Structure 1
């Protein structure tokens, strides 16, 4: 019992630090940009004590949207890593990113061209069909196709292979469609780089809804992920209905991934890096790692978007470029470590 207290205290401190960093990222993200706003004014605007449209209508929904996207990718990445027992798994393993990119490109083809609004906003303004909706449906359909090709969730190795095949085929179709129109290339390329610049309050509400739908089942399945780390046969010996639970894990994590991709494009490495960093601090207990990955992913993406807005201001970088520059070296480090252990 004496030995358990320091570990419990350490884990509590990790969560306190994550919440503190998240609040700090919120204040910094809302206050910094092309026009800097003092922290006092930011806090007053957030509390409703002072009107500031830059804070409440422009930056706040962007920062909150980025946090929700980061939380979705972080917890989905942790779930996929636990499900496949593979530390290199990420939320796009099931072909969700390729499916979203293909669907958005297909929408551009169906409309016969691209509007300037799509090239910059990622959304067809004033039309009933939007890139957000098509991206969401494309990500979900790609995931379902992967499940069908793999014959269900019985063999995780076949799921990974099917996801790679589906992603490669859809990427090939996307490239073909993009090459038919130079404007289409530019617009879809901007989408695939990831961007939070035009996430508004409707996007925040949509992301929050999907998180409320998918996050509770994932958190409740933390014990199942813990059992899977011992091997599927051991998990079955514990009396778990493994196949339905694995399917529920896949669908919930894929739903979060699809929602994130639909709202912000393809933002790499958040779902890969975040669970790894927190696993070093919290261990392999997914009952803790899943909620911590949600907090960590939200913080990481909010800070990455802050860098994207301030490094080259008044211009902006796509946030996907920043996360790639930060996560790419980390990914190479992981591969180097795994190779060294082997």
Structure 2
């Protein structure tokens, strides 16, 4: 862990810089550095009453457009990967993630309702809808206190289709505004601002921080009912982890739309490298999830220029084959369940 954490932090920094550097307007690395430095000085000048100096020529593009977008993508990826780690521990299988088990689609209903009828309550509606989705999928999948992998996947996929159908109906009912909402629903960071970054930072810090703090409990939850004999209040921590999964997923969906497979790919890659201990797995998966989504957003912006693709398409193209690979390994009994 001592070696991997600095490596992932360095990779995160490189991904963030690359995300800001690459775009439709060619900007040199020195211009990127100068604009970010000026932005930091300008922010601090409000408290220190100092003059930050002359504004760099590409400051607006970098500080107001690209940097908030890249930071938001990183924080959403971090949140989804953290929710994926907790989902896999809670449901005791490596194929669970908020997208596959229907939580993201469920949160999409609340977010769509908020976007149409109550934009100021979009996050809270998405959270309530995500909690309801977890409850439904978990209740349907549970058999004598155990959640079989096949039942979980079928329940999650079925509920995801149902939730998506409801969401699409809500979108189509908007008429002329349907296209804008469709782009958001498929996943986009276009138009991201510093307010979005601040809100997502608070949610991701609280949710991911809680999961990192409770790494021992995540390890014990994997044991299921046996953990009760080791002193764990299993029912309490199941509720707590469900709440954290719903919180992270709901705010990610309300901020950037439905983005799949980050919560599946990142934890599994880190599990292969670091093992199943959540002390190292949780923070590593979170950091790597942020990196994955920054690169996915970068591809969404550049692969079909001048058209911008929804980032959800990119993550689906990356994650769906990976999910099929994991499913085949599970079929052969090579994954824990």
TM-score between both structures, scaled by the size of structure 1? 0.82
What is the aligned counterpart of 1:293 among 274, 278, 285? Answer: 285
| 1:86 and 2:93 are equivalent in the alignment | yes
Match of 1:46 in 2: 36
What is the deviation of 1:138?
Answer: 3.2
TM-aligned CA distance change 1:93 to 1:326, over 3 Å: closer
Trace 1:130-209 onto structure 2 (pairs within 5 A).
131=122, 134-143=125-134, 155-157=146-148, 163=156, 166-180=159-173, 183=176, 185-209=178-202
Match of 1:278 in 2: 270
- Is the 8 Å Cα contact of residues 105 and 184 (structure 1) preserved in structure 2? no
- Is the 8 Å Cα contact of residues 104 and 188 (structure 1) preserved in structure 2? no
TM-aligned CA distance change 1:178 to 1:212, over 3 Å: closer
Shifted more, 192-201 versus 255-264: the winner is 192-201
Match of 1:309 in 2: 301
Match of 1:122 in 2: none
1:155-199 deviation line (CA, Å, top 9, x unaligned): 545877765554343333334444546546534432331111122
1:92-136 deviation line (CA, Å, top 9, x unaligned): 3553322233234445665xxxxxxxxxxxxxxxx8646555444
Match of 2:110 in 1: 103
Match of 2:22 in 1: 32
- Is the 8 Å Cα contact of residues 73 and 260 (structure 1) preserved in structure 2? yes
What is the deviation of 1:149?
Answer: 6.8
What is the aligned counterpart of 1:212 among 205, 209, 216? Answer: 205
What is the deviation of 1:74?
Answer: 0.7
What residue ranges of structure 2 are gaps of 5+ in the alignment?
42-54
Write the distance in 2 (CA, Å) between the matches of 1:172 and 1:179: 11
| 1:60 and 2:53 are equivalent in the alignment | no
- Is the 8 Å Cα contact of residues 108 and 254 (structure 2) preserved in structure 1? no
What is the deviation of 1:150?
Answer: 7.5
TM-aligned CA distance change 1:183 to 1:103, over 3 Å: farther
Deviating above 4 A after TM superposition, structure 1's stretches of 4 or more consecutive aligned residues are 107-110, 130-134, 144-151, 157-166, 178-182
Match of 1:263 in 2: 255
The number of equivalent residue pairs is 315
